[in-house]
Structure 1
Amino acid sequence: MKSLKKTRRIQVIVVAFVALAGATALIGYGMRDGINFFRSPSEVAAAPPAPDEVFRLGGLVVEGSIVRDAGETVRFEVTDGAETIPVTYTGILPDLFAENQGMIGQGVYAGGTFEAREILAKHDETYEPKEVRDALEAARAGATDGAAAAN
């Protein structure tokens, strides 16, 4: 009798483990396109991602860099204070998109240019995305450390 209970218990544990593994795999498969990592221009310049990797790039739009091509294509540059990355975007930009303002774009990095599929701009004067703020602070800290070392 004990061996039958022990066998049943092992079967239940194995079935529960398989069900848990299957559920985890399904959740991971369902979220594969929904997980996008944030990178600053310095991180992209230091370690360029694969051309098919979708990620988010954030920083400040460089003053004087916005160029509107024929149609809805816009070219501009994004910086974190240390590095600058060229960006292209085809579509209608948010109303609050402007030079010297924070932005986050989602897209791919191919041929040395970030090809944005979506652009998000700051929504009021006090808002700055946390990722952008952290990247700017890290770039400023690096510039300050470099200046102190030079002295």
Structure 2
Amino acid sequence: MTRKRRRFVLIAVCGAVLAVALGLVLSAMRDSIVFFRSPTEVAGDRVAPGTRFRLGGLVKDGSLRRGPDESVEFAVTDTGSTVPVRYRGLLPDLFREGQGVVAEGVLEPGGVFRADTVLAKHDETYMPREVADALKAQGRWKEGAAPGTVSQTAVK
């Protein structure tokens, strides 16, 4: 085997190993990627049941119901659509009606979102960027608000 052929074989083997490693990394990442959806996207049948994603919006006033064994039901809204959410576990201390929330979980066939993680906002003006963008698209965003914030009058 000539030197030129050996070099070509070495480069081809290294390329194949690199391609297999890249394929394994991308395959592992596919299971951990979670997309953000708004209640309007979920209600518009743009999300298939059984899909894992993050749902963000505001906790609808009057929708919070606590059940036995730390089970909680509430609704998440973006003022356009509302999605019912079921969660079992302890809620964050800052969780309350009318405030921003991001829940991660799975959409059940009946249209109920079964959350396994609930994250609450950190102060009274915080709004997840995706929710703020959804409010802008609906024309409910108050101009002059800082990025990531929304006026309370804009969401009521």
Q: How does 1:1-150 map to 2 (within 5 A)?
A: 4-110=2-108, 111-140=110-139
Q: CA deviation at 1:102?
A: 0.6
TM-score of the superposed pair, with normalisation by structure 1: 0.84
- CA displacement, residues 44-88 of structure 1 (integer Å, 9 cap, x when unaligned): 112343333211000011101101112211111111121111111
Q: Which position in structure 1 is the counterpart of 2:154?
A: none
* Higher percent of residues as helix: 1
What SS does the corresponding residue of 2:126 show, helix, strand or coil?
coil
Q: Which amino acid aligns with 1:80?
A: D
1:144 corresponds to: none
Task: Find the aligned partners of 2:138 and 2:106 in 1 and give their Cα distance.
Answer: 22
Counterparts of 1:127 and 1:7 in 2: how far apart (Å)? 61
Unaligned regions of 5+ residues in structure 1, if any?
A: 142-151
Please give the per-residue CA displacement for 1:121-141, whole angstroms capped at 9, x wherever unaligned.
001123221112112222236
CA contact (8 A) 1:59 1:136 kept: no
Letter in 2 for 1:49: V
CA contact (8 A) 1:59 1:135 kept: no
1:13-69 per-residue CA deviation (whole Å, 9 max, x = no partner) reads 211221221121221233233210000011111234333321100001110110111
Contact 1:50-1:109 at 8 Å conserved across structures: yes
- What RMSD over aligned residues (CA atoms) do the two structures have, in Å? 1.6
TM-score, normalised to structure 2's length? 0.81
Secondary structure in structure 2 of the residue aligned to 1:92: coil
- SS across alignment from 1:78: strand
Question: 1:23 and 1:126 mapped to 2: Cα distance?
Answer: 44
